[in-house]
Chain A
Amino acid sequence: MTVDQFLFFLALFGYLLGTLHYLLHILSPRPSIGRVASYATLVGFGAHTLSHIVRLYTLGRPPLGSLYESLSFLAWAIVLIYLVTEFRYGNRIIGAFVLPVVLLATLTAATLPRRIAELGPALQGVGLWVHVALAVLGNAAFALTFCTGIMYILQERQLKSRHPGRIHFRLPSLELLDDIGLKALLFGFPLLTLALITGAVWAEYTRASFLNLYGREIWSILSWLIYGGLLYARLSVGWRGRKAAILAIIGFCLVFGTLIGVSLLRSGRVS
């Protein structure tokens, strides 16, 4: 096992521990459980960061070339954004929804071939790395809107049912969830936009055609349209709450579909 693999598995272990404790924390408000969850996640994040750095050194290029690398980077970025949120809002319940997504992404990455992909000359260059990094970061922000969206729906149902149960007491307020969802959207959307632009420029530059409308591009545009629509609806029409939450959930499912579905179909090649 190489150093970066060891660090990757350490991160996976940290996320697993974090996930379990965040979930436990929903059931029990004991602060010690919450602290363990945060520390485990933080340690996992540290190991994950190091694993990326080590891989960057050994590869001599950013570790964003294969599906394994992209997924691993996505998980890392979600944790980063989540930890900032936790620190900012002092709420650990969101972790119980975000960390399972992180764990899923990391586990999926762990099952993928880790061998270093031979990249053709077309897949080299700063433009591509910037494009991929931006897209992944944007998607990480959308992962947070996805999670707060689910939480919003749950809390909203609790309030509408008029028989609030246990989960009602543990979930944050609608206002907070809506606010975090909007902020993550405001952070993620410009990144996705930039990612599309750099992608288009890079494609123009290398192949002289961007819109061949196969796979990844068409999906990317679709998710850009969804998130753009959502942002527009929120900012100008004043859409918020349940409808915004549902759209955020659908949007993320589409984005995740792009990343995994298409990449699997094409076995890691960028067409």
Chain B
Amino acid sequence: MEILVVGLSHNTASIELRERLSIPEEDLAKPLDMLGDSTELVERMLLSTCNRVEVYAVTEGRVETAVEAIAGCLAAYRNVDRSEFADKLYTHVAADAVRHVFRVTSSLDSMVVGEPQILGQVKTAYSIAQTREATGIILNNLLEQAFHVAKRVRTETGIANSAVSVSSAAVELARKIFGDLSGRSVLIIGAGEMAELALRHLLDDGVRSILVANRSYDRAVALAQQYHGRAVTFEGFRQEMVGADIVISATSAPHVILKKEDVQTIIQQRRHRPIFLIDIADPRDIDPACHEVDNVYLYNIDDLLSVVQANLTERNREAERGEAIIEREVNLYLHWLRSLDVVPTIVSLRRRIEEIRGAELQRALGRLADLTPEQQEIITTMSHAMVNKILHQPMTELKRRAALQGGHVYTSVLRRLFGLEERLK
């Protein structure tokens, strides 16, 4: 019995190849059933995202045969020639497979480490496999454990703390200034694409009041309507800044439209409430000197990019701590996996011996009919003691061995020797 992972991902295969092999969520059932036709794969699930196509499986036979079966199925399902992706395919077995599943689910194997989508994608893939009855005790436990590990990595390290896109970095910074963003108001100067993108991010974060200023008033009105905001005249934007908390400037103006003196006046009128200025225009809209004013935080596109860069470095550092957590969890899981064999073995061995003891005791007591109750008691006790003493050493040893590498050999030999095979489910 072996756990294995066969697949390809952004680490090994090009996006074209991944696209050609990927299977949409709603079509996952069919290839899952196809995999089930191969008798080796007693448990299986299929994960297909834009960054990876992977099969998680448990095989009772040889690993090589199982890998063949999986690769064949992937090729056949999407009509891609095996030779096209044979060298891109990776195979992980046993501990490596467990580690891989944990890393994928925890988003440590993602293109952008710490991205949140993968956990949901694995959960969906798992539940589809469950509805096709393709998983069993081993994969069920593996996936449940993987979800637990992903949660641990997320809460115990900072891999998901920092923003890794320009617009999410801006939102993160805004949160560190204002805390909760719901109820905050945003002023957009310029109605370009970039401004709209940033606006959408802020809306996702609960910003409710939106003002749009643009040189062409009609376009301002159009954009404002789209997001249930209010259009204001371009000439009046400075006055609007008194009420706005976040200002995104993205005009195509050839020169600075907001000077330090303007900001000083505005901040006075705001009674020194902080204001977050985001200048994503090129050339710049806002005089860099505005940043010197107290309670004004000015970030331009380069600043945001360097924040993103720093965050990526930070994530990778945090990812190392995630790896350490995963290493411990892999060991825990493997420990469970090995004891899986030993527990039912011990139970059936005990039952078997107990049956023999009971039968033999009855026979002996039947022949010794004139024994006093005390004497019967002594013989019964002796039979118990013998069984316990004989079993004690092998049981202890078995439990210990089972937790070690290759432990399943001991349980399987024991099953053969005592003829327990048919008793194990």
Taking Cβ atoms with an 8 Å cutoff, the residues of A that contact B are: 28-31, 155, 158-160, 162-166, 168-169, 171-176, 238-243
Contacts and interface: CB of A to CB of B under 8 A. Distances in A.
Interface string B297-314: 101000100110010001
11 contacts: A28-B321, A29-B161, A31-B155, A159-B176, A164-B176, A173-B177, A173-B179, A174-B179, A238-B271, A238-B273, A239-B272
B94 to A, nearest CB: 29
A166 B271 CA distance: 31
Interface string B32-69: 00000000000000000000000000000000000000
Q: Of residues B156, B274, B294, B321, which shows the largest number of chain A Cβ atoms within 10 Å of its Cβ?
A: B274
Q: Of residues B162, B173, B176, B307, which shows the largest number of chain A Cβ atoms within 10 Å of its Cβ?
A: B176
B364 to A, nearest CB: 58
B353 to A, nearest CB: 44
Given A28-B156, A29-B156, A174-B274, A240 B175 contact: no
B303 A162 contact: yes
Contacts, number: 72
Interface size class of B (residues with CB under 8 A): 20 to 34
A169 B307 contact: no
B178 A29 contact: no
B295 interface: yes
Contacts of A240: 271-273, 295
Nearest to A158: B176
Which 7 residue pairs spanning A and B have beta carbons closest together? Answer: A238-B271, A173-B179, A175-B179, A30-B156, A162-B303, A169-B161, A176-B179
A118 B310 CA distance: 61
Contacts of B173: 159, 164
A156 B303 CA distance: 16
B213 to A, nearest CB: 25
Interface string B152-168: 00011110011000000
Interface string B267-311: 000011110000000000000000100110101000100110010
Given A29-B158, A241-B272, A163 B176 contact: no
Contacts of B310: 163-165
B163 to A, nearest CB: 10
B306 A162 contact: yes
A232 to B, nearest CB: 14
Given A162-B307, A174-B274, A238-B271, A30 B155 contact: yes
A243 B295 CA distance: 10
A88 to B, nearest CB: 14
Given A29-B161, A162-B303, A164-B310, 5 more contacts: A29-B157, A159-B173, A163-B306, A173-B179, A241-B295
Contacts of A160: 291, 297
A242 B157 CA distance: 30
Nearest to B161: A169
Interface of B: 155-158, 161-162, 173, 175-179, 271-274, 291, 294-295, 297, 299, 303, 306-307, 310, 314, 321
B176 A174 contact: yes
A173 B303 contact: no
A165 B161 CA distance: 12
A61 B274 CA distance: 49
Nearest to B156: A30
Nearest to A28: B156
Contacts of B177: 159, 173-175
Nearest to B299: A162
Nearest to A240: B272
B203 to A, nearest CB: 19
Contact of B178 (A165, A166, A175, A239): A175
Given A31-B155, A168-B176, A175-B178, A163 B307 contact: yes
B176 A241 contact: no
B85 to A, nearest CB: 40
B390 to A, nearest CB: 45
Nearest to B184: A175
Contacts of B321: 28
A25 to B, nearest CB: 11
B307 A155 contact: no
A174 B157 CA distance: 23
A169 B175 contact: no
Contact of B295 (A158, A171, A242): A242
Nearest to B175: A173
Nearest to B309: A163
Contacts of B294: 241-243
Nearest to B292: A160
A176 B156 CA distance: 23
Nearest to A168: B176
Contacts of B271: 238, 240
Nearest to B178: A175
A30 B156 CA distance: 4
Contacts of A158: 176
Contacts of A238: 271-273
Contacts of A241: 272, 274, 294-295
A239 B162 CA distance: 31
Contacts of B176: 155, 158-159, 164, 168, 171, 173-174
